[in-house]
Amino acid sequence: MRKHIVAGNWKMNNGLIQTKTLITELKQQKKTSDAEVMIAPAFTNLWPAFEETRQFPIEVVAQNMHFAEDGAYTGEISAGMLKSIGIQSVILGHSERRAYFNETDEALAKKINTALEHDMRVIFCFGEELSDRKSGHHESVVERQIKNALFHLEASAFKNIVLAYEPVWAIGTGETATPEQAQDMHAFIRKTLSDKYGSDTSNSVSILYGGSVKPNNAKEIFSKPDVDGGLIGGASLKASDFFAIVNAF
Ligand code: PEP
């Protein structure tokens, strides 16, 4: 059975004190679902967050990393650095990274390779712009993003890959894809994987939906057969909202 996963992307929010406070509040929440829980604080708070969640079923993951092992890349963080403080998973390809930091599918393919070489789990994000959906090109855009970043991999690599479909028009906008739009796209993604790698691989990969998931819409979105969880932005910054989403499974 595929894993259910709910991951909170904190983006560039929360200093040290707020990070510790939010984690204390998260630890007080009651978990009633089988979903794996992840949180992605900013780089400076990964270590304190890791320490605060030891012995607790919340995985601390990074929001990004560089593809190089080390060297003259001022301001960047490597996979080895993340691993050295116990971080096992990394979000790659978030639409904000693509839009504001010019991350291309080609650069993302390199980052994915590096993360996998370090035995890290990758939460790979992709999704279409509003104009793509309006013009009916949403499937071809998503197919291209997946092929460019992932299709050089062997099938066995997918045990360390989680996919996150995040339509750009739904991120931080309050506008959510309908559960049917999410299901249709997730089924398309699974078929795209199946055509290349076969159904055993495609059926084993968790596909998360991201884009204005809130406590009041999570249950309906998560009820769809190909939706295996969520990547949550705004609602992950409030412990009770985040756990209402975690417990929507
Ligand atoms: C995100 O940043 O990945 C996201 C889905 O944000 P929000 O939930 O705020 O739309």
145 CA → ligand 1 middle, Å: 19
Cβ pair 25, 54 in contact under 8 A:
no
Which residues in 90-129 are b (16+ Cβ under 10 Å) and which e? bbbbbbbbbeeeebebebbbebbbbbbebebbbbbbbbbb
pLDDT tens profile 181-237: 999 999 999 999 999 999 999 999 999 999 999 999 999 999 999 999 999 999 999
- Catalytic residue, chosen from 52, 128, 166, 186, is 166
- Amino acid 175: pLDDT: 81
- Catalytic residue, chosen from 4, 66, 94, 138, is 94
pLDDT tens profile 28-72: 999 999 999 999 999 999 999 999 999 999 999 999 999 999 999
- Residue type (1 letter), 172: G
What SS3 state is found at 192? helix
Q: Which of 97, 165, 174 is nearest to 132 (CA)?
A: 165
Q: What is the pTM of this model?
A: 0.97
The ligand 1 atom at the shortest distance from the C-alpha of residue 236 is: 8
Distance (Å, whole) CA 161 – CA 8: 17
Has residue 176 got a pLDDT over 90?
Answer: no
Cβ pair 40, 72 in contact under 8 A:
no
Task: Give the residue carrying structure tokens 């116990």.
Answer: 86
**C-alpha distances out from residue 147 to 26, 40, 136, 144, Å:** 36, 26, 19, 5
The answer to whether the CB of 221 is under 6 A from ligand 1 is: no
228 CA → ligand 1 middle, Å: 16
**Half-sphere exposure of residue 202: CA atoms within 13 angstroms, side-chain side:** 17
Nearest CA to ligand 1 atom 1: 233
Give the pLDDT band of residue 13 (cuts 50, 70, 90).
very high
- Amino acid 246: pLDDT: 98
Mean pLDDT to the nearest integer, 125-133: 95
The answer to whether the CB of 93 is under 6 A from ligand 1 is: no
Give the pLDDT band of residue 174 (cuts 50, 70, 90).
confident
The answer to whether the CB of 99 is under 6 A from ligand 1 is: no
Q: Which H helix or E strand runs over 150?
A: helix 138-150
Where are the strands (E) in the chain, listed by range? 5-9, 36-40, 58-60, 89-92, 121-126, 161-165, 207-210, 229-232
167 CA → ligand 1 middle, Å: 10
The answer to whether the CB of 78 is under 6 A from ligand 1 is: no
137 CA → ligand 1 middle, Å: 22
pLDDT tens profile 94-116: 999 999 999 999 999 999 999 99
Tell me, yes or no, if 137 is annotated catalytic: no
The ligand 1 atom at the shortest distance from the C-alpha of residue 170 is: 10
Distance (Å, whole) CA 49 – CA 16: 9
The token duo for 70 is 């080390």
Has residue 1 got a pLDDT over 90?
Answer: no
Cβ pair 112, 152 in contact under 8 A:
no
- Amino acid 196: pLDDT: 98
Has residue 6 got a pLDDT over 90?
Answer: yes
